[in-house]
């Protein structure tokens, strides 16, 4: 890595990307996003899916992060600031002391799906509005080997800072595409030979009855309203049996159960 550039003034224009992180997260960053924490930065650098624009670290962490920062491209500036200055830039106490700005690079959905192998597992999301759930969904997608995530237009942003953090960086490593408002979620999967499995308490079959298929897509919807009926009508619907009087699981928890089952089926390990 090149030598760290020391920042002493919170108003220094070189760190303008990091000003008032929370407020600007809500309105977007013109094709950029904030990555927070050492583990997330490791994933951002290692995956190489999104170019790193710059890094801002607390002065006290520069030496301990030398090995990680050495993986940055030579032209990526590393800014270092005393903790008080860094807090003033960011707008709140940034205890992790590590931030980076990435450049968004997201392929069109068609290009993403066309690049998948003959045997593939896709996670498809509709109406996911909670960033904790979005992060958990991506974390499970990575843990169980999903090849891609297809994000409906009505979902929250997987590259929102909190979603990235909750995903433990998986939102930066699992390929995903976000659909436009007029794009259908099921049609591009079905046309490419995917069996689309929609999860719902009203599913016609159980998860245990699901068999392996070369191409499968697991479709998850928002807690509460669930998936629209017209969408489920075009899918194979599956439920997870639960104790009497209770039929609801957190969507991230549901995805972990479902993707574990699908991973077993792909590996031929299921009984």
pLDDT tens, 183-200?
Answer: 999 999 999 999 999 998
pTM (2 d.p.): 0.92
Residue ranges, comma separated, of all CATH 3.40.1280.10 domains in the chain are: 109-267
234 CB-side CA count, 13 A: 15
Q: H or E stretch including 190?
A: helix 187-190
Residue extent(s) of CATH 3.30.1330.30 domains in the chain: 5-103
Q: What is the pLDDT of residue 25?
A: 63
Token pair 């909190």 in the structure block, residue? 162
How confident is the model over 234-245, as pLDDT tens digits? 999 999 998 887
Say which residue the tokens 């069996």 belong to.
195
| CATH superfamily to which 109-267 belongs | SPOUT methyltransferase, trefoil knot domain (3.40.1280.10)
Q: What is the pLDDT of residues 18-35, one digit of tens each?
A: 988 876 665 566 789 999
In order along its 271 residues, the chain shows pLDDT tens digits of 568 999 999 999 999 999 888 766 655 667 899 999 999 999 999 999 999 999 999 999 999 999 999 999 999 999 999 999 999 999 888 888 999 999 999 899 999 999 999 999 999 999 999 999 999 999 999 999 999 999 999 999 999 999 999 999 999 999 999 999 989 999 999 999 999 999 988 889 999 999 999 999 999 998 777 888 898 899 999 999 988 877 678 999 999 999 999 999 988 844 4
CATH superfamily of 5-103: Ribosomal protein L30/S12 (3.30.1330.30)
d(CA 216, CA 213): 6
DSSP 75-107: T--EEEE-HHHHHHHHTS--TT-EEEEEE----
């Amino acid at each position: 890595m090149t030598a760290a550039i020391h920042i002493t003034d919170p108003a220094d224009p070189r760190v303008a990307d990091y000003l008032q992180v929370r407020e600007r997260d809500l309105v977007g960053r013109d094709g950029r996003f904030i990555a927070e924490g050492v583990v997330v930065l490791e994933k951002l650098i290692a995956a190489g899916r999104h170019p790193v624009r710059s890094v801002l670290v607390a002065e006290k962490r520069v030496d301990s992060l030398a090995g990680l920062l050495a993986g940055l491209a030579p032209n990526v500036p590393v800014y270092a600031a005393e903790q008080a200055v860094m807090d003033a830039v960011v707008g709140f106490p940034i205890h992790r002391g590590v931030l980076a700005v990435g450049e968004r690079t997201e392929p069109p959905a068609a290009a993403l799906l066309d690049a998948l192998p003959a045997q593939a597992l896709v996670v498809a999301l509709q109406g996911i509005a909670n960033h904790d759930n979005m992060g958990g969904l991506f974390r499970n997608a990575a843990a169980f080997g999903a090849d891609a995530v297809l994000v409906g237009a009505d979902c929250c942003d997987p590259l929102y800072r909190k979603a990235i953090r909750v995903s433990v960086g998986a939102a930066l490593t699992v390929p995903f595409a976000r659909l436009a408002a007029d794009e259908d979620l099921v049609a591009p999967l079905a046309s490419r030979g995917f069996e689309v499995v929609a999860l719902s308490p009203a599913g016609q079959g159980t998860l245990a009855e699901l068999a392996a298929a070369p191409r499968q897509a697991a479709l998850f919807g928002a807690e509460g309203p669930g998936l629209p009926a017209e969408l489920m009508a075009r899918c194979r619907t599956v439920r997870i049996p639960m104790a009497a009087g209770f039929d609801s699981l957190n969507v991230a928890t549901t995805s972990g159960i479902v993707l574990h089952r699908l991973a077993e089926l792909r590996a031929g390990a299921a009984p």
